[in-house]
């Protein structure tokens, strides 16, 4: 798994302005780096159901939020996710930590699989565009994110082009 | 003023009149988010580009959505009207608001003790929960409660200009059916209108 500074650098490159999160064991170690990042702001919510509408408000207000939570939080927040996707139709990006994934060697397979398969199932059932990845470097993570969603790929390409235009003007 | 709907002997103010006071006080560049019952009442009272009537919604989602807008638009005031049933779905959001550090957000709670849009069933909070006490304990800079319409009319402007984040609880009667049946403007239309209004303000 990559480090906090690496994820901050990746998210900054992608133009993320706010990370709205409930941490878990997989993404929790990034807290210090996310909190100290000058390029984005970490917003802590009390439960995952708050995260999706909060990100929707940020998006409507002109920001580029990223929601982070774990698979169990995804289950908890199902109605809020449904609302953002189907009622508001907003392109909210998220990164869902797979519960127990990093401890899979120490747990029994039956204990791991419900979280993984149900997490993926819930994601698919919600109609979200997503991809499961176990990439362990920021570069491969960013590539996986790009493969996961055409909108993300478009967003990254647009940002890259804007950056090149700024460079050529400078 | 003529009181509209509800039981005048209940000691609570009519919801429509309570919202009318709010509508008269909202400034031109203020974002107003409504939810559930208020998302049906306020559009019947007025239409305004920066009003976002969050319906269909997720119960408990109005306050976090308004918080997102307040974080994204720190230069303008954001006011969210939530029902008590919706707030009870996500009481922790009071803590989230304070932790986020916003001062440009006001929560107006319409407390009628019931789930109004589903037919008037009791919430678990009856007979009474001290919502202002909860807000103060969460760290809200100001929290006040109004039971009588005359008090709300006289002190609403002061309550809304207290240091933020602000929490205002209004004890209201059930709303008349002709208001609750009033259709919320279509979501696509509202979103386009809100984006245009925010974009125009950003360019000016």
Measure the CA–CA gap between A18 and B82, rounded to whole angstroms: 25
pLDDT tens digits, one per residue of B140-178: 999 999 999 999 999 999 999 999 999 999 999 999 988
Sign, CA torsion A64/A68/A73/A74: positive
Phi-psi region of A52 (alpha: psi -120 to 50; beta: other; left: phi over 0): alpha
**The predicted structure's pLDDT at residue A161:** 52
Q: Which of A75, A27, A22, A20 is nearest to A52 (CA)?
A: A20
pLDDT tens digits, one per residue of A55-78: 999 999 999 999 999 989 999 999
Burial status of residue B168 (CB atoms within 10 A of its CB: 0-12, 13-18, 19 or more): buried
Interchain pair A58, B62: CB under 8 A: no
Measure the CA–CA gap between B203 and B92, rounded to whole angstroms: 36
| B 25-64 residues inside an 8 A Cβ radius of A | 52, 56-62, 64
Give the number of residues written for chain A.
170
ipTM: 0.93
How many inter-chain contacts (A to B, CB under 8 Å) are there? Answer: 102
Nearest to B68 among A47, A49, A53 (CB): A53
Nearest to A83 among B58, B69, B188 (CB): B58
Measure the CA–CA gap between B140 and B98, rounded to whole angstroms: 6
Residue of A nearest to B61 (CA): A53
Cα separations (Å) of B124 from A80, A103, B86, B89, B129?
22, 40, 12, 11, 9
**The predicted structure's pLDDT at residue A160:** 56
Residue A170: Cβ within 10 Å count: 5
Q: Answer whether residue B1 shows pLDDT above 80.
A: no
Residue ranges per domain, chain A? 4-169
Q: What share of chain A is helix, strand, coil (3-state, %, to 5)?
A: 60, 10, 30
Residue ranges per domain, chain B? 8-203
> Tens digit of pLDDT per residue, chain A (170 long)?
779 999 999 999 999 999 999 998 888 999 999 999 999 999 999 999 999 999 999 999 999 999 999 989 999 999 999 999 999 999 999 998 887 766 655 554 444 445 555 556 655 656 666 655 555 555 665 666 555 544 444 445 545 555 555 565 54
Beta bridge partners of B105: B78
CATH architecture designation of domain B8-203:
3-Layer(aba) Sandwich (3.40)
Question: Does residue B56 have a cis bond before it (omega within 30 degrees)?
Answer: yes
Instruction: Please name the residue ranges forming H helices in B28-176.
Output: 38-45, 62-72, 84-89, 93-100, 131-138, 149-160
CATH architecture designation of domain A4-169:
3-Layer(aba) Sandwich (3.40)
- CA B23 from chain center: how many Å? 11
Chain A CB contacts of B64 under 8 Å are: 45, 50-51, 53-54, 57
Nearest to B64 among A53, A82, A88 (CB): A53
pLDDT tens digits, one per residue of B25-52: 987 899 999 998 999 999 999 999 999 9
Chain A CB contacts of B96 under 8 Å are: 43-46, 50, 54
* Contact call for residues B65 and B18 (beta carbons, < 8 A): no
Q: Which of B140, B169, B144, B172 is nearest to B158 (CA)?
A: B144
Nearest to A58 among B71, B188, B195 (CB): B71
């Amino acid at each position: 798994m990559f480090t906090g500074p690496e994820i901050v650098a990746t998210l900054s490159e992608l133009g993320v302005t706010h990370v709205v999160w409930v941490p878990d064991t997989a993404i929790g170690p990034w807290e210090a780096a996310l909190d100290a990042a000058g390029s984005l702001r970490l917003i802590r919510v009390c439960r995952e159901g708050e995260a999706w509408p909060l990100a929707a408000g940020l998006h409507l207000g002109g920001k580029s939020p990223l929601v982070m939570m774990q698979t169990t939080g995804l289950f908890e927040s199902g109605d809020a996710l449904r609302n953002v996707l189907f009622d508001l139709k907003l392109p909210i990006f998220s990164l869902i930590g797979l519960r127990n994934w990093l401890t899979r060697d120490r747990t029994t397979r039956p204990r791991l699989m419900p979280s993984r398969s149900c997490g993926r199932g819930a994601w698919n059932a919600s109609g979200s565009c997503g991809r499961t990845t176990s990439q362990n470097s920021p570069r491969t993570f960013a590539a996986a994110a790009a493969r996961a969603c055409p909108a993300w790929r478009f967003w990254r390409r647009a940002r890259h082009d804007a950056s090149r235009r700024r460079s050529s003007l400078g | 003023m003529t009181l509209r709907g509800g039981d005048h002997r209940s000691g609570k103010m009519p919801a429509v009149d309570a919202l009318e006071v709010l509508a008269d006080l909202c400034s031109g560049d203020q974002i107003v988010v409504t939810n559930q019952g208020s998302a049906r009442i306020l559009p019947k009272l007025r239409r305004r580009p920066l009003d976002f009537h969050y319906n269909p919604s997720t119960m408990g989602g109005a306050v976090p959505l308004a918080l997102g807008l307040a974080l994204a638009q720190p230069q303008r005031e954001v006011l969210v009207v939530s029902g008590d049933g919706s707030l009870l779905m996500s009481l922790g959001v009071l803590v989230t608001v304070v932790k986020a550090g916003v001062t440009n957000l006001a929560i107006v709670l319409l407390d009628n003790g019931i789930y109004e849009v589903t037919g008037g069933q009791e919430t678990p909070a009856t007979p009474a929960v001290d919502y202002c006490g909860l807000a103060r304990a969460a760290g809200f800079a100001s929290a006040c409660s109004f039971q009588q319409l005359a008090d709300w009319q006289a002190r609403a402007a002061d309550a809304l200009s207290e240091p933020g984040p602000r929490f205002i609880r209004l004890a209201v009667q059930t709303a008349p059916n002709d208001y609750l049946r009033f259709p919320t403007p279509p979501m696509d239309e509202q979103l386009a209108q809100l984006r245009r209004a925010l974009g125009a303000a950003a360019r000016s």
